Structure 1
Amino acid sequence: MEIETVIGDAAYSEKENIKYSKTNNIKLVTKLNPSITQGNRKKEDEFNFNKDAGMYVCKAGHMAIRKARQGKKGQGRNQTDTYHFDIEKCKRCLFKDGCYKEGAKNKTYSVSIKSNEHTEQANFQESDYFKGKSKERYKIEAKNSELKHRHGYDVASSSGLIGMELQGAMAIFSVNLKRILKLME
């Protein structure tokens, strides 16, 4: 079977799947996990980047005093740039509520560096091909829901891999038979 495109949800966008699809010339239509594209913080918690200084600036206008890269390159996990702020300024800051924790010895702001695979996938997400194919995903979800809720494919009714395979084959056979009968009408 020749596979050109795989459509899935964000759970399928891990780096190994992206590498596999690229190696095997498969288009992977799956949105990157939001923690990769936007990070784990809310919009109001984000700092602004000053391009001229190459440093982040907090809401109060205080610039980071140094930057450090964390994580090893090529270890499977993305590296991060960690920006360190002057803790004495943070202690007296008007915006310290929710930003500075009383008694903290330092204040940092970390930004994940996207791998080449994640950057390429993020660019692919913006393409017309990706947007067109991702609109078809609801059909797959509807079929999965039908299999689970109407044809017993949600919980294994017997133990063992053979029993599960048989249950899956029967559920899929039933759904396909229903589809064939409907198309014949």
Structure 2
Amino acid sequence: MIQRQETLVLSPYLELYNLVVPKNNMLRQINELVDFSFVYEELKENYCLYNGRNAIDPIRMFKYLLLKTIFQLSDEDIVERSKYDMSFKYFLGMAPEDPVVDSSSLTKFRKLRLKNLNLLDLLIQKTVEIALEKGIIQSQAIIVDSTHTKARYNQRSPREILQDRSRKLRKAVYKADESLKDQLPTKNTNDVLEDEIAYCQGLIGVIEAKGGICALPKIKEPLNLLKETITDDLEHLRISEDQDAMVGHKSANSSFFGYKTHIAMTEERMITAAVVTTGEKNDGKSKERYKIEARNSELKHRHGYDVASSSGLVGMELQGAIAIFTVNLKRILKLMK
């Protein structure tokens, strides 16, 4: 059952936020800039309004996804950081002592609560409304171009992806403690995907059983990435490589396998429209390419838009919606200074 987010609960520790989350903190500024109540109206059709247990607040869940995009972290790492980062808890509308969600809830939220939504148009429209309200958009000209995103599984098989990620995890473990090499499970040597998945699950189990070593960042990050690949994309792994992705061309001599996002942008570098397509679609022609290239670079290098975070066109549209929402909000904050 959906419930509206309450104001911060009464807590003797709320004053901590005024001490440790300064007014120029980006997350505080976003909270003050955006009225996130629109999330309720857009998501209510995907919740039961009257029966069942109370669902985790949808605004909080949406903000978790926003944090994930801003800081380029896995579900598990974003939840872990929200346990101790006071700016995260403040942004999420939590009291300092409140418990965080289980990372598996984020997967369910993406798959069950965000389905059948035109989130890309919705979030762009929201940022454009804010920009107009703040008097930021003054120009009439629109710059049109596209940016490419490589498919998560590229043109390698799902088994090869799992092999690559388990290899990186083993390498990190060996560097930390070479004595563990003999304790890890024997690598899978056949071409059966289910056997490769089983091997990866066994590898994860052995490493997690070692306790303290999992806390090392150089092990924790590849470990969480491998876990998320298995749990979040298990059905995609069993289907095959990304079936929506297509071969496209960046130039006459350069190609890629994935998707294109066709972007319209004002001279103030606010993205006002975007369409996600498969990679073979033609590019738009930009007259002020340096401006849109700067925005494309930010999307890719700061917010993970160079590689798809999941399989399929629907997942790519969700990734684009959150990433563009993020860069537009950051641009508004910069132009307001």
Structure number with the bigger relative contact order (C-alpha 8 A, sep ≥ 6) is 2
Query: Relative to total residues, which structure has the larger strand share, 1 or 2?
Result: 1
Provide TM-score, normalisation by structure 1.
0.29
Provide TM-score, normalisation by structure 2.
0.16
Query: Relative to total residues, which structure has the larger helix share, 1 or 2?
Result: 2
* Larger Rg, first or second structure (1 or 2): 1
